[in-house]
Amino acid sequence: MGGFFSTVAGQIILTFLEALALIVPLLIAVAYLTYAERKVLAAVQLRKGPNVVGVFGLMQPFADALKMIFKETVIPAGSNRVLFILAPMITFGLAVLAWAVIPVNNGWAIADINVGILYLFAISSLGVYGIIIAGWASNSKYAFLGALRSAAQMVSYEVSIGFVMVSVLLCVGSLNLNDIVLAQRNVWFCVPLFPMFIVFFISALAETNRAPFDLPEGESEIVAGFFVEYSAMAFALFFLGEYANMILMSALTTILFLGGWLSPLPFAPFTWLPGPIWFIIKILICLFVFLWVRATFPRYRYDQLMRLGWKVFLPLSLGWLVLTAAVLMATGWLPHAA
């Protein structure tokens, strides 16, 4: 019995250390993504960006974190206090939990489960609760309007994302994220499934409430939307959750369409870099496009956003799914799950 408990305790400690090894770099990456965004936007707009706090402004994220920690958390008088505080915790917690199944190299995942895609579907579907609860608990018309916008937006684009993922799964025959990457050894799925790659990336912008789809935070009409009543660390958790979701969607784009940790070409010098480095490089490229789009495109109107989701992306992704299945069936390439 003692051996059993020691084995269980060892497994718990190992899982905790694995989670820590993933969460700490993720939090640092989120902090420096805010710095990178300011620098990219500054370069596009011909200004300097952060350049005072630390060398080249590199300590700016830590200065921001320090400011948020020491600011007072203001809770509106008519709000539901418990839900008001719980909402940002839900948003940030789900953004971190989703990383449990993301493989950064062959077999390198905290939980290498056979239904990794379903797990991500479940986590992303729960993400809307944090935003809805925040908007409702704030007891503010603007916050509630932003929450409703965000919920409608996430639901609209999750449908298209689902069909895109099913198109990829048809080509793989497995729900395991590791298997999806290994299936791209000969050709990355961004080549044969190029339209779905574009649909997925644009839907990822909408899913994470990023420009030009940042309507839940529309400054001109709803004054920052669902987190308008939040301050200090409660606001910081929403902020961290959004940026963690950006990194997550970039990682998912990399896994589904860009070959994950696989090198672009199977010969030197490309094979010299280890898999995790290629994985990080591809995520950084996707994140740069996220920031580039924000600096380039104006915000959509809400009716344009809904029309794009329901009248363009939904029929396109559904039609491509049927076409992919037909081609795989006709050519005999339809894989069978092991």
Does 66 lie in the same domain as 83? no
175 and 294 in a single domain? The answer is yes
Angle between helices 81-97 and 116-137 (to 10 degrees): 160
Q: What angle do CA 247, 250, 254 make, to 5 degrees?
A: 135
* Residue whose tokens read 């969607």: 249
Note whether 151 and 212 are same-domain residues. yes
Tell me: do 9 and 141 sit in the same domain: no
Q: Is residue 249 part of a domain?
A: yes
Q: Hey, how many other C-beta atoms are within 10 angstroms of the C-beta on 298? A: 7
In this structure, the answer to whether residues 100 and 41 fall within a common structural domain is no
In a domain, 338, yes or no: no
Q: Give the CB-side neighbour count of residue 127, counting CA atoms within 13 A.
A: 28
Distance between start and end Cα atoms, the chain: 36
pLDDT tens for 162-217 read 999 999 999 998 888 999 999 999 899 999 999 999 999 999 998 888 888 887 77
Query: How far, rounded to the nearest angstrom, does the alpha carbon of residue 58 sit from its chain's CA centroid?
Result: 24
Same domain, 226 and 120: yes
Same domain, 28 and 84: no
Question: DSSP 3-state assignment of 327?
Answer: helix
Based on the domain organization, do 57 and 181 belong to the same domain? Answer: no
Q: Same domain for 52 and 96? A: no
The verdict on residue 282 lying in a domain is yes
| Model confidence band, residue 7 (pLDDT cutoffs 50, 70, 90) | confident
pTM check: above 0.85:
yes
Query: Which residue among 9, 37, 70 closes a domain?
Result: 70
pLDDT (tens digit, 9 = 90+) per residue, 268-284?
A: 777 788 889 999 999 99
State which residues form the domain around 267.
77-331
Q: Express as a percent the part of the chain with pLDDT over 70.
A: 96
The first and second tokens of residue 9, run together, are 């305790």
One domain, residues 81 and 158? yes
Mark whether 251 and 306 lie in a shared domain: yes
What is the count of structural domains for the chain? 2
Please tell me the total number of residues recorded for the chain in this structure.
338
Q: Tell whether 139 is covered by a domain.
A: yes
Q: Which are the contacts of 309, defined by CB distance < 8 A and separation ≥ 6?
A: 153, 156, 157, 159, 160, 203, 206
Contacts of 256 (CB under 8 A, 6+ apart): 164, 165, 168, 180, 189, 200
